Amino acid sequence: MKRDGAKRMLTCMAWALGGYILLQVMIYGALPFWQWKSGELGLAMLTVSACCLLIEDIKKFLAQIVAFAMLWMSPVFIGMVAGQPLSVIMQYRTIAFAFILSSLFIIIRDFLPYRNLRKICSFLFYGATFLVTTVILGYYASSGSLLNASAVMAVFQTNPAEAKSYLDDFVPWQVWTAVLILLLAYVIVLNKWKLSVARIHGMMHHRAGKALLLFCILLAIFSLYRTRDTFYKHLTSETRQGLKAYTDFSLYREARAADLTRKLDGVTSTRPGVYVLVIGESQNKMHMSAYGYDRETTPWLDAMKDDGHTVFFRDARSCHTHTVPVLSYALTAKNQYDSRELTKAVTLIETAKAAGYETIWLSNQVRYGAWDTPTSAIASEADKQEWLNTHVGETTETTAYDGALVDRLANIKPERKTLIVIHLMGNHGSYRDRYPKDATVFDGDSPVDLYDNSIRYNDSVVQHIYETAKAMPDFQGLVYCADHADDVDRNLGHDASHFTQDMTRIPFYMMFSDAYIHENPDVVRELKEHAATRVTNDLIFNEMLAVMGIVIPQEYEKQNDLTSPAYDSDSRGFGHCTGRRSLTDRAVGCILGLLVIR
């Protein structure tokens, strides 16, 4: 018996040493062994070898561990395939985590005394493994990228209707078929793959066996604790930090308001009147005939862009490809060219209210009451709010078209000083849901045809918004800017982890009344002087204050003001992805720690 025990221990040690060397060679290649990082992988192999002492059929035990571990270490392989490899240290720590977790599951499962308990344990672990793997694989299949914090945060900042639209547009049916086949094969194989647990149950009659089992469990738990900076821990940490930052935005509201009151003491707008800011959604100017597209998708803007009342910006770009991060900057004093904290940046609504404006928010977007994102936090500061979607939280779905916002606008009786913000659903996927059937102009069912129809309908909506606002007493001007674009030609949407330059090419224009042009000729002249220069939409806050004549001395940035001769369009280098990618770069992948899909 002692000889059998010694042989088993030597066998386990040999398996562990062989597995350790194989993994290190896979990770470090020809690097000398004294330069290997050994801590986490050493613990992983020690855990596996200790567990082997408890199992009758070592080969089957090791085969099952490897099968589970391969699934949990899938980010290592997908990162390589997607051209976004994890750092070397994160690779081996993720591999160590996968082996330790698999060993711990099998030992705990086979230790449980009752069959039903073992079934429940298996169901939970199988389910978690399948869920994690399919999410990672599914995201790669739909975006060509490794899962990142942006994608995870999208779960907290979207709703079922929008998620369904995304899946319909960007996840082909072949992916769903592959997922179902994988699920079926996974369940069948694991359900039939039983281990021989006679040894572990037999050892429970001896103190030494119980002690060894306890040692294995504690060793596995300790090893998991010591395995730092795995892919999963890094993803969780990044997501948690992002969510905290967005939550803090609302918590700082009172402090910002008090600070703004102090800054604006005695300061009011020099240009009272009614101003309208229209925020488009997912609109690519390369699919607008006003910007040279070969289809007539914007007949109204085609006629208006050369009108004397219009300032038509030809080189506007978005600062991000997702709505929440764009509007977090566009509607606050924060932009990618300064270092201030977003949570302490004053908002456009706060500033306008402090300057004596009535503020009104009209939206056809979902109101994210479940998570209070910065966009909804900013909107909640408005004196009056109208949401076409009357639901809140994560079960919302709207069936209204943007044209309904015109009726809401027509019912407004503005004060002499009023700021109206209108947030369109615009051209967000699914494109066919963005316009009524009788607004179809371009026949066909391709993404481009559907998108172009939505662009055409959007043009009509903005026309009616402008005409309705223009008829209001004291109307001064309308500013239109999209949050970001969609890369519809490549059918990529606006997923930042698969970044292309086309996701940033947005329309931007302003239209002023005769009275405004007559009273502020210098402002209009400077705007037209800068119509051909580059501008990013995180500067909308600056431009709205400049147009409305609100100046906060502590906040004013002349280099970011299109109405100033000192506007800087050359020296700083315009960026995207909150400054992480140049807007002149070749279109390659962009990994962000913020949002996806929105």
| The pLDDT of residue 23 | 57
| The pLDDT of residue 595 | 34
pLDDT category at 35 given cuts 50, 70, 90 is very low
| The pLDDT of residue 597 | 32
pLDDT category at 122 given cuts 50, 70, 90 is confident
Residue found by looking up tokens 């779960």 in the block = 155
| The pLDDT of residue 585 | 44
pLDDT category at 136 given cuts 50, 70, 90 is confident
Nearest of 278, 284, 285, 372 to residue 330 by alpha carbon? 278
Beta-strand relationship, 315-317 and 358-363? unpaired
Instruction: Fold for 269-582, please state it.
Output: Alkaline Phosphatase, subunit A (3.40.720)
pLDDT category at 258 given cuts 50, 70, 90 is confident
Is the model's pTM score more than 0.85? no
| The pLDDT of residue 594 | 37
| The pLDDT of residue 357 | 94
Q: At 13, phi and psi to the nearest 5? A: -65, -40
High-pLDDT (> 90) share of the chain, % = 34
3-state secondary structure of 414: coil
pLDDT category at 340 given cuts 50, 70, 90 is confident
Per-residue pLDDT, averaged over 525-539, amounts to 95
How many of the other CB atoms lie within 10 Å of CB of 65?
A: 23
Q: Which tens digit of pLDDT belongs to each residue from 462-507?
A: 999 999 999 999 999 999 999 999 999 998 888 777 788 999 999 9
Q: Which helix H or strand E contains 201, and what residues bound it?
A: helix 198-203
CB proximity list for 224: less than 8 A, separation 6 or greater = 97, 100, 101, 104
Which of 371-385, 388-402, 583-597 bottoms out in mean pLDDT, i.e. has the lowest? 583-597
Nearest of 172, 179, 96, 100 to residue 137 by alpha carbon? 179
Q: Flag whether pLDDT at 598 surpasses 70.
A: no
> Which carries the bigger pLDDT value, residue 398 or residue 346?
346
Residue 337 contacts residue 556 (beta carbons within 8 Å):
no
Per-residue pLDDT, averaged over 52-65, amounts to 74
pLDDT category at 428 given cuts 50, 70, 90 is confident
- What would the two tokens of residue 232 be? 């999963």
Q: Flag whether pLDDT at 394 surpasses 60.
A: no
d(C-alpha 195, C-alpha 204), whole Å: 17
Q: Which tens digit of pLDDT belongs to each residue from 549-582?
A: 998 887 788 899 999 999 987 655 555 554 455 5
- What would the two tokens of residue 409 be? 């606008």
Q: Domain map of the chain by residue range?
A: 2-239, 269-582
